[in-house]
Structure 1
Amino acid sequence: MFTKILIANRGEIACRVAATARRLGIQTVAVYSDADAQAKHVAACDEAVHIGGSAPKDSYLRWERILQAAQATGAQAIHPGYGFLSENEDFAQACQAAGLVFIGPPASAIRAMGLKAESKQLMEKAGVPLVPGYHGADQDPALLQREADRIGYPVLIKASAGGGGKGMRLVERREDFAAALASCQREAINSFGNDAVLVEKYVLRPRHIEIQVFGDTQGNCVYLFERDCSVQRRHQKVLEEAPAPGMTEALRAKMGAAAVAAAQAVHYVGAGTVEFIVEQPGGYDAPDAMQFYFMEMNTRLQVEHPVTEAITGEDLVEWQLRVAAGQPLPKQQSELKIIGHAIEARICAENPDNGFLPATGTLQVYRKPACSSFAISDVRVDDGVREGDAISPFYDSMIAKLIVRGDTRAQALARLDAALAQTQIVGLATNVQFLRHVVRSTAFASAQLDTALIEREKAALFDQQPVPTALAVAAAVAQLLQAEQALQTTDPFSRRDGWHSHGTPRRSLQLLQGGTPVAASLTTGHDGQLQLQVGDTTGRLDWQPQGDGLLVQFAGLRSTAQVHVQGEVRHIFTPQGAAVLELPDPLAHAGEHGAEGGRLTAPMPGKVVSFAVQAGDAVTKGQPLAVMEAMKMEHTIAAPADGVVQELLYAPGDQVSEGAELIRIEATA
């Protein structure tokens, strides 16, 4: 076994590898960029080496610096994590040339599976079922258009060297193909340095089911069952679970055998995932009719590997280290069993109600459910951040992974909802409440799964207010009064509770919820009882401290609540969900004016990719004007109204901050 390894990655996967290595008595070396100098993964390792600037191309993708760091610190092997260099055949070969063990498959396997088109040709020879499509080398746009026409719409354009949902576009009409192809190729170049694509039939009612495989240097290969990753947004996974609901033993064995055949076709060593698209021609309740097709093989450990660990009791990172050290697989196929059900939720810095736009900021509050990290347990959190850390625009938007396990799927669902309710993040937008909506939705709870679930159930998933406004206001007011009581003095004229020497005191509060005014008033009786009015709802307000929060009662509503104050904003967390209220200070905003018209601003920090207009162009509402890239994804910015472009204020390639004015438009009447 190794005595020291270097982890060529960051975030939660670097922390995950460091924890397993420590348990095995292996020392670890972290690498870090300018942005990650104080990161959690740096503290988690025994040593750390600075490798460059904040952008990945200046640090985590500079493999020559990573090799130098490994040699300088005496590391014997390099664990690439996932993303960055984990599927880079040149890096794997460079490790070998430098006398270092690459903890992953051989470069030949990465090369064989790294390009989607070539890998599908290889799988066809191995007898693995394929989705109908075009996987050829000729990338002439006119040819690709003809192939799409031949296959029949809808089709899916996919970057041949892609992964993680990047460089992928669904095209439902022939006239949209050219624009989608150009956008897909731009994103592929930016993410992978290769703009080759393939075109495939878009399978209707598809499920995304993948098989975890593992091979060793002795020629053994096993599969550790399946994961269902069908719940996706923008072709990126949101929830993953194992085993796949509705999976029959016969289909599991057939898919497992196909996955092992795929791995053996390229003499695979280490952890890998064979991904299948599964068609449900008989509907959600007809598993016997399901048909599966090979999509791709990810030649690395996957983000969602913890759900496989949870149902098998195996530590896949430990398996990686042992296999890379030349040891045989810890278990053979007959020894692997499924125990219970596990679900993973990806907690991301993004705004689901605004097109999942990525968010940046500081984790001013970061509270996790009671859990056991890096272990097989009922509740587990894998993360690479701490309270006070910043989520920057340089890397992906994932903050943490929340993994739960239960004896049954229903028990796992209940545990996941409870754990999400205990997750409190303040300082930037997240998808925590959205995840709760998905978990509670009828479609997900009843396992009516396909990759269109989020779009199909959008009415129940977006713009929801699970906390009644009256309860949210009551909690905010209770917290305000509690804070004022802490400042109270014995002088009655300095009291902050509305005390009057005569008459009934009345206190008016003007709040905002999502920009909508909410009027509230509070009266204090001479007996000290408080009456709160919120809109048309009136009742007695009572509260008392409970743990780190309050037990609030108002107008027949009763709930515990934690209220975090950030300036004028109150972040309220209850078992039902979360709410955000503003309590503006009128004096602080005196003299402010409304936002100017005729301005188009950046919805998030990122890089300007291109403009589709120039000064003098007339535009119509909804027309695409510019493309921005943030957190490795492209985002199209459309005109908010009809008008004429007056000026472009940035150039392609410029980095801009959130709220920066990009285009000046003169609105037409």
Structure 2
Amino acid sequence: MRKLLIANRGEIAVRIARAARELGIATVAIYSDADERAEHVRVADEAVLVGPAPAPASYLNVDAVIGAIRSSGADAVHPGYGFLSENADFAQAVIDAGATWVGPAPQAIREMGDKVAARKTAAAAGVRTVPGSAGEISGVAEAVEVAAEIGYPLAIKAAAGGGGRGIRIVDSAEDLAAAISTAQAEARTAFGSAAVYVERFVPRARHIEVQVFGDGERAVHLGLRDCSMQRRRQKVVEEAGDLGLPAHIVDEISSAAVRLTSSVRYRGAGTVEFLYDEERVDYYFIEMNTRIQVEHPVTEMVYQRDLVAEQLQVAAGEPMSLLQGSLVPNGHAIEIRLNAENPEMNFFPSPGTISRCDMPGGPFVRIDSGVKTGSVVSPYYDSMLGKIIVWGADRPTALARMLRALTELQIEGIVTTAGFVESILRTDEFAARDFHTTWLEAWMTEQAALKAGAA
């Protein structure tokens, strides 16, 4: 691998470029008209314009990105996360262009990217799935039959979904038809497919995921992450280390994730996601993300491994250096996502120019950022500016370190979610780990009511 094109932008593009540089690999950034002066362009060795500001005309434009591969002479492509990272057709186009695809084979992306197909693959590998329809439902009548078997509440989910979109929660039969119609319409708009399936909704679930890595022949896991702190099914805070789960559940989930990863001859970094049902003390597979995750740094901090460097080396044909017996976790890590959004205005995006950007530092504090003082936050893309990740010998130490780091953070010129996240971390529930996937929104509703009452 001589020259790597990074088919992404923002903090993940910066992070990939750093790993490549440490390995002696030259990097090529791609950028839109809106990102000409962006940080990911500055840190790369060269850059190629791929189109106008809107993502469909630039970062999602397959022909333009393939053109950038050819014009730059790149011999490898890393897609990061989001955009085209889980697009099997794009992966195949990269391979057809003669470049190395840093990720799983297109077939594995197809097999695990469709949620219905992934459920069937998981079941074949002996991995428990959430009770629900066997596949895509044909209509309301079939959904009624499934509901009669598994009960309410239930979730209607887009088969090609991701990022929390194309999902509707249904509490009664009266709401079923409307929920299916809405989910199908959203799925068609977001993913180009109206296919949906039905599964049981677990009200007090924790979102637990396993970091896996494979070389096409064998697979390993690098522990679990808790991503239960969510707003509108978007992750806000992530953790790795001791998650307070029963030991047998940790072992079973880890083994199930490796078994599933091996069954599709997976190559590279991936994440197998589960719901942990606290009431039943049980777990269910929900999906696999066939790419590096936003929250991969917490795993890297606990295991002291560079997952992106490992991706690049395995893609280049080198043996996987990860051996299960030598992967021993140490301590606890917490990550918060820093978004350019205004919590006081229903998290409305806050684009603009950053007039001041002072990031925290100190021992065991890591910043993965795509911005600096003077950076322009565009309204065209995801609002995430970057992530703050801390490590501690245990969870209380890591939490104290994160709270200290947030007091040092200074960003001016735009509004961010830093204060909102800090208020979450200071709750008794977070300290006691007494939360689940729907806790945050209930807490926000409660806080809004208290504020209205005080006014």
TM-score, L = length of structure 1: 0.65
The question of 1:313 aligning with 2:312 is answered no
Aligned partner of 1:271 in structure 2 is 269
Supply the distance in 2 between the matched residues of 1:116 and 1:244 (Cα, whole angstroms). Answer: 29
Is 1:259 aligned to residue 250 of structure 2?
A: no
1:228 and 1:244 in contact (8 A); partners too: no
- Inter-CA distance 250–32: structure 2 relative to 1 (3 Å threshold): same
What's the CA shift for 1:166? 1.8
CA distance, structure 2, for counterparts of residue 463 and residue 75 of structure 1: 55
The one-character-per-residue Cα deviations of 1:330-365 (angstroms, maximum 9, x if unpaired) are 120000011110000011122334433333333233
Aligned to 1:427: 413
Are the structure 2 counterparts of residues 402 and 463 from structure 1 closer, same or farther at C-alpha, using a change threshold of 3 Å?
farther
Which of 397, 413, 422 does residue 411 from structure 1 map onto? 397
- Supply the AA of the counterpart residue of 1:447: R
- Establish whether residue 447 from structure 1 lines up as the match of residue 425 from structure 2: no
Aligned counterparts, 1:103-252, within 5 A: 103-148=102-147, 150-217=149-216, 219-252=217-250
> 2:53 & 2:274 partners in 1: Cα distance?
35
Cα distance per residue 1:191-219 (max 9 Å; x no partner) = 322221122111131000000000014x1
Residue pair 1:239, 1:344 contacting (<8 A) in 2 also = yes
How many residues are paired up? 452
Map of 1:562 onto structure 2: none
The CA deviation at 1:431 is 1.4
Question: Which residue identity is paired with 2:110?
Answer: R
Structure 2 match to 1:506: none
Provide the C-alpha distance between the structure 1 equivalents of 2:388 and 2:60, rounded to a whole number of angstroms: 28
Residue 247 of structure 1 aligns with an amino acid whose one-letter code is: L
The alpha-carbon deviation at position 299 of structure 1 amounts to 0.4
Corresponding residue of 2:373 = 387
TM-score by length of structure 2 reads: 0.95
Amino acid aligned to 1:411: T
Q: 1:184 to 1:425 in 2, by over 3 A?
A: farther
SS in 2 for 1:387: coil
Q: How does 1:322-361 map to 2 (within 5 A)?
A: 322-361=313-352
Contact 2:332 2:395 in 1 (8 A): yes
Pair 1:141–1:430, CA change in 2 (3 A): farther
Given that 1:79 and 1:104 are in contact with CA atoms closer than 8 Å, whether structure 2 keeps it comes out as: yes
Indicate conservation of the 8 Å contact 2:218/2:265, yes or no: no
Counterpart Cα distance in 2 of 1:458 and 1:80: 35
Say if 1:363 and 1:388, in contact at 8 Å, map to a contact too.
yes
Whether the 8 Å contact between 1:156 and 1:200 is mirrored in structure 2 is yes
Deviations 1:375-401 (A, max 9, x none): xx6111111112222322221111111
Counterparts of 2:447 and 2:421, CA distance in 1? 9
Match of 1:571 in 2: none
Work out the CA distance in 2 between the residues paired with 1:351 and 1:150. Answer: 43
Secondary structure at the counterpart of residue 370 of structure 1: coil
Give the SS at the match of 1:264.
Answer: helix
Cα distance between partner residues in 2 of 1:228 and 1:442: 17
Q: Secondary structure at the match of 1:273?
A: strand
Question: Any idea what SS the aligned residue of 1:457 has?
Answer: helix
**Distance change (3 Å), C-alpha of 1:175 and 1:352:** farther
Give the whole-Å Cα distance in 1 for the aligned partners of 2:356 and 2:342. 17
Distance (whole Å) between structure 2 residues aligned to residue 128 and residue 358 of structure 1: 39
Identical counterparts, % of pairs:
48
Q: CA deviation at 1:329?
A: 1.4
In the TM superposition, what whole-angstrom CA distance separates every residue of 1:130-161 from its partner, at most 9, and x where no partner exists?
A: 11112423443453355345432211122111
Q: Distance in 2 between matches of 1:428 and 1:185?
A: 36
Q: Distance in 2 between matches of 1:396 and 1:462?
A: 26
For 1:643-662, list aligned pairs within 5 A: none
Q: What secondary structure sits across from 2:85 in the alignment? A: coil
Counterparts of residues 11-160 of structure 1 (less than 5 Å): 11-148=10-147, 150-160=149-159
One-letter amino acid of the counterpart of residue 22, structure 1: R
8 Å Cα contact 1:242/1:342 also seen in 2: yes
Which amino acid in the other structure matches residue 364 of structure 1?
A: S
Distance 1:356 1:151 in 2: 35
Q: Is the CA contact 1:348–1:397 (under 8 Å) kept in the aligned structure 2?
A: yes
463 and 147 in structure 1: CA distance in 2 versus 1, 3 angstrom threshold: same
**Contact 1:438–1:461 (8 Å) recurs in 2:** no
Q: In structure 1, which of residues 378, 391, 403 is the aligned counterpart of residue 364 of structure 2?
A: 378
Please say if residues 203 and 438 of structure 2, whose CA atoms lie closer than 8 Å, have aligned partners that are also in contact.
no
Name the SS for the 1:133 alignment partner: coil
Paired residue secondary structure (1:54): coil
Residue aligned with 2:175, SS = helix
Query: What is the alpha-carbon distance in structure 2 between the residues aligned to residue 174 and residue 140 of structure 1?
Result: 14
Name the CA distance, whole Å, in 1 between partners of 2:449 and 2:384. 21
2:225 alignment partner, SS class: strand
CA contact (8 A) 1:209 1:244 kept: no
> Which of the numbers 276, 289, 292 marks the counterpart of 1:301?
292
Distance in structure 2 (CA, Å) of the matches to 1:177 and 1:356: 29
Distance 1:54-1:141 versus aligned 2 partners, 3 A rule: farther
Aligned-CA RMSD value? 1.9
Q: Which of the pair is proportionally richer in strand?
A: 1
1:560-579 pair list within 5 angstroms: none
Aligned to 2:353: 362
Is contact 2:59-2:83 (8 Å) kept?
A: yes
Q: Using the alignment, how far apart are the partners of 2:103 and 2:151 within structure 1?
A: 38
Say which is worse superposed, 8-17 or 52-61, in terms of deviation. 52-61
Deviates more, 1:238-247 or 1:103-112: 238-247
CA distance in 1, matches of 2:18, 2:395: 28
* 1:457 aligned partner: 443
Give, in whole Å, the separation in 2 of the partners of 1:90 and 1:323. 21
Distance 2:378 2:147 in 1: 38
Which protein has the larger Cα radius of gyration, Structure 1 or Structure 2?
A: 1
SS of the counterpart of 1:134? coil
CA drift of 1:190 comes to 3.0
Q: CA deviation at 1:419?
A: 1.0
Distance, in Å, in 1 between the alignment partners of 2:154 and 2:171 is 7
2:39 and 2:371 in contact (8 A); partners too = yes
Q: Secondary structure at the match of 1:448?
A: coil
Q: What's the secondary structure of 1:170's corresponding residue?
A: strand
Deviation at 1:173, TM superposition (A): 3.3
Measure, in 1, the Cα distance between the counterparts of 2:384 and 2:324. 33
Cα separation, 1, equivalents of 2:372 and 2:143: 47
Letter in 2 for 1:228: D
In the alignment, structure 1 segments of 5+ residues that lack a partner are: 282-288, 372-376, 466-515, 517-669
Distance across 2 between alignment mates of 1:240 and 1:53: 34
Q: Give me the whole-angstrom Cα distance separating, in 1, the residues matched to 2:218 and 2:281.
A: 29
Deviation of the 1:430 alpha carbon: 1.9
CA drift of 1:123 comes to 0.9
